[in-house]
A and B are shown apart, each in its own frame.
Chain A
């Protein structure tokens, strides 16, 4: 994409010109893009869902070039109705009409390229394109659609494709989705499912509904957490103001009494696995997804609330979970974790990695990352996190990588030694690609007098020295009591 993205230019919604005109509260529908006030500024936002509350109609907005975790329900007063609203593009839908319900040939020819493109793009663009179908193909002021009666599929579409779950009262005034749209949705569905199947182990769930946060508040231990993303907790939980999660067994409750009762019976005080690392600050536990299915599922549900790109499509069996805890007089509190495939075809050493929000920005992420690389060192492998990274993930990894590479290079510089990408990679258990990308990102890799060289920027050195004076925490590898687990051929073949 272009640097213009920083200026907040169109990234929301489908490409191509859109019809623009003024709108009212009542005509504004799902899929429209309006100017919405965010942090005191007007910003383009796509309406993903609408609900009527006692205080008036609310719109779920996804802001242009803002991460989904900043999506929110917005009252009508924050929407600028003086500004033109971009309507969902009917042309696009018309175009698809031609394909008809069973026009398999044309369907196979035309959309695939589009679908292909869609696959490559991130969910935002995927979603925005996929959104159009089940928004309203007609401009509201044209004649009401002569919609076909809802087929079962329509109903299904409605229940899954539109955010009906968020509030029963929403969408009442909206038209039925056009039947012809279904094909397109179905098609992209196949493509997306395919993506899920063939893609990495834990990519995101691509469905529309999953774009909208379904849990508003979670009570977890001493904290109230505000989820960032959708998580497939029981559907009835979406109606709860707050859900309760047991800090130790991670069981979830919509009902407070149930939770209290559970707490009286729950005896867990640490993650249900073997402790493999301990120092005076944190502990690490290794947990097998196959053995601790309930606990690991619960953990995944929690982490899904804070990881956009995580998928819970498949079960937890093929993963090991490395859980970082901090000890208090109540027990071992979950701080963060990373999951790791028991056998990764792409040599990933991390599948998902998360520090819980209440522990974020305290350096725990670096400990998690360091630990994952320490395990790789013990295994004698080079590791890399599974892609895609989230924005926060990228920042954390970049920081870890650059810190370690700079430390290593400073040492080499002192001794006046040369270095290769490969030797950096092996001494840090990082893949050579990660090393190269980090060097490039830090602008350290230069071409000088016909020779590649590594140059340590002064600013980075100063930053390192400043950081070192802060006395950060590190994992002490000698405290790790761990052997790479071995899985039999049968458990690998039949275990998942």
Chain B
């Protein structure tokens, strides 16, 4: 060993190394990094020093080629190669793809007769007439059945020395071998088979490998091979369990989705089929009808046929609308594609007519819409636009205390609330009303307590509460009034008459619809801060239509009222009166000041 003067830096695999030839470096200046004994060879330690290997390793790089001697193979002298391997091989053009196992590629029985069998068979055949000879193939088939049956019904024959009786064997033979003449040989072959098995200790006649049978004995027996490998155990951790569970869940979900897809696709296809069937049925029926008509020589009008026509052609129709306008074209187009001799003329005519009428109708409608628009051109249709934040609207800001609503009040609502700085002033003129009777309408969502939030002066925040229906009767006038959007209608003081009292849900759809027909209320007009002036400006020239609209609204209100009454089966006499005051009351308020 040479003692090193230089201490080497450890070589990192990422260090760039200059690549040099011998003449590019002074040989005296470097020393080889390692001595040979340090090199890892990967050969077992005990074998590393073998004479021939060492000699060969020494020879590397030198011109001497030391080979490791091995027992040399020879060309076989005895084997008649061409006889043993007679089949010529034809190479397929493409790469070979094959997955047949050895057993599958064997054509013939898996039993291969031995020299002993051969002798027996020859002797056996000499005793028999030439036409009753047993062929080698058939002999092997019989032997195979015997071996298989024995392995199946007496797997421990080797140990307990049981012999499968001939009765069982003959059954197996007749099951596996159909030919009667071959079956006839079975008995003699059985005796031979038995004697052979006996001679070999009742082992399988085919020499077989030793597989594992008994752990203790097997482990050191070099003949025992190809053991099953123990299943690899995976470490069990909670994280893995969770992971696995999640994966399974996900898989389940995805499978379910897939299943749903298939189910729906299936349903769709079934429906399609149904449709086609129906179409066909319709067509056939119609054809029959036609036939019958021809037969009976009925020349009625074609109405009955016509009726069926539109159903018949749901598919073609969508294509036709673009072409509907000119008649002549249509007629030409249909005739060739229909192919039916009788129908086209009348049918197309009808369709033409229908289309025409339809078109006319549409045009008419279109025209009227146009007219209407022009007519309304300079008016502002308050109902068409989003409602301004009228008082009634604010009332809506009370919302039922449903959890869903409470959780996230819509931003827009609070925005609108910010605007109204003064809390609504309850109208004093309105006497507290006592709600005694319940109309039918009461039964809907009224029960729910409601809340609203608003911002008062100096940024104070108000939460207004509206209790549920049950307590409504006891609540303060202001609240009562807020409950009653159209209270003025029932404002006439004929209490003696015990007026019918209607509680109306301000949020009900009908009510909202109705409200939309009402012009802006007085409060709005009076209100500062809103762009009322603008609104007024707009409404001034439109005084007349406005009045008209009001009238209409009144009518509608009356109608609604009547309906409510009819529903409520309330006392008579109150139908008209409430409507009238409402109308009268409203009109002055709208009038320009």
Contact = CB atoms under 8 A, between A and B. Distances in A.
A437 B101 CA distance: 42
Contacts of A448: 25, 29-30
A297 B231 contact: no
Interface residues of A, number: 158
B338 interface: no
B102 A274 contact: no
B223 A394 contact: no
A57 interface: no
B84 interface: yes
| Cβ-closest 8 pairs across A and B | A122-B46, A5-B49, A122-B44, A312-B225, A234-B207, A265-B108, A418-B16, A210-B222
Contacts of A460: 61
Interface in B26-50: 29-34, 36-50
Contacts of A219: 76, 78-79
Interface in B4-25: 6, 8-9, 11, 13-25
A122 B42 CA distance: 12
Interface in A421-475: 421-422, 425, 432-433, 436-437, 440-443, 445-461, 463
B20 A453 contact: yes
A451 B41 CA distance: 26
B28 to A, nearest CB: 11
Contacts, number: 382
B14 A420 contact: yes
B68 A392 contact: yes
Contact of A442 (B43, B61, B208, B220): B61
B44 A330 contact: no
Interface in B302-350: none
B50 A207 contact: no
A417 interface: yes
Q: Is the interface of B mostly helix, strand, loop or mixed?
A: loop
A205 B222 contact: yes
B73 A493 contact: no
Interface stretch (B91-99, B374-382, B386-394, B480-488): B91-99
B33 A456 contact: no
Contact of A189 (B18, B67, B219, B226): B219
A295 interface: yes
Q: Is the interface of A mostly helix, strand, loop or mixed?
A: mixed
B471 interface: no
Interface stretch (B114-122, B402-410, B503-511): B114-122
Contacts of A457: 22, 61
B76 A235 contact: no
A463 B65 CA distance: 12
Nearest to A309: B44
Contacts of A267: 87, 105-107
A455 B30 contact: yes
B219 A223 contact: no
B53 interface: yes
Given A253-B112, A358-B73, A232 B19 contact: no
B73 A456 contact: no
B47 A447 contact: no
Given A122-B44, A327-B89, A258 B21 contact: no
Contacts of B209: 232-234, 297, 301
Interface string A285-327: 1000001111101101100000001001111111000000001
A226 B102 CA distance: 25
Given A123-B44, A205-B222, A391-B43, A459 B18 contact: no
A254 B207 contact: yes
Contacts of A65: 49-51
Contact of A67 (B42, B47, B108): B47
B563 interface: no
A457 B25 CA distance: 11
A315 B8 contact: no
Contacts of A440: 33-34, 38-39
A329 interface: yes
Nearest to B71: A226
B443 interface: no
B74 interface: yes
A257 interface: yes
Given A66-B51, A295-B102, A452-B17, A259 B112 contact: yes
A83 interface: no
B592 interface: no
Nearest to B82: A330
A237 B98 contact: no
Contacts of B136: 261
B89 A413 contact: no
Nearest to A395: B56
Interface string B215-227: 0010111111111
B436 interface: no
Contacts of A11: 46, 49
B59 to A, nearest CB: 10
B71 A421 contact: no
A37 B498 CA distance: 141
A290 B118 CA distance: 35
Given A419-B19, A458-B22, A249 B105 contact: yes
A21 interface: no
A412 interface: yes
A276 B97 CA distance: 9
Contacts of B32: 443, 445-446
Contact of B227 (A272, A274, A315): A315
B131 interface: no
Contacts of B106: 249, 265-267
A269 B112 contact: no
A6 interface: yes
Interface string B53-83: 1111100111000011111111111110100
Contacts of B229: 314-315, 317-318, 496
A493 B70 contact: no
B88 interface: yes
B6 A418 contact: no
B222 A232 contact: yes
Contact of A272 (B47, B101, B118, B210): B101
5 contacts: A160-B221, A207-B222, A232-B223, A395-B56, A413-B21
B15 A452 contact: yes
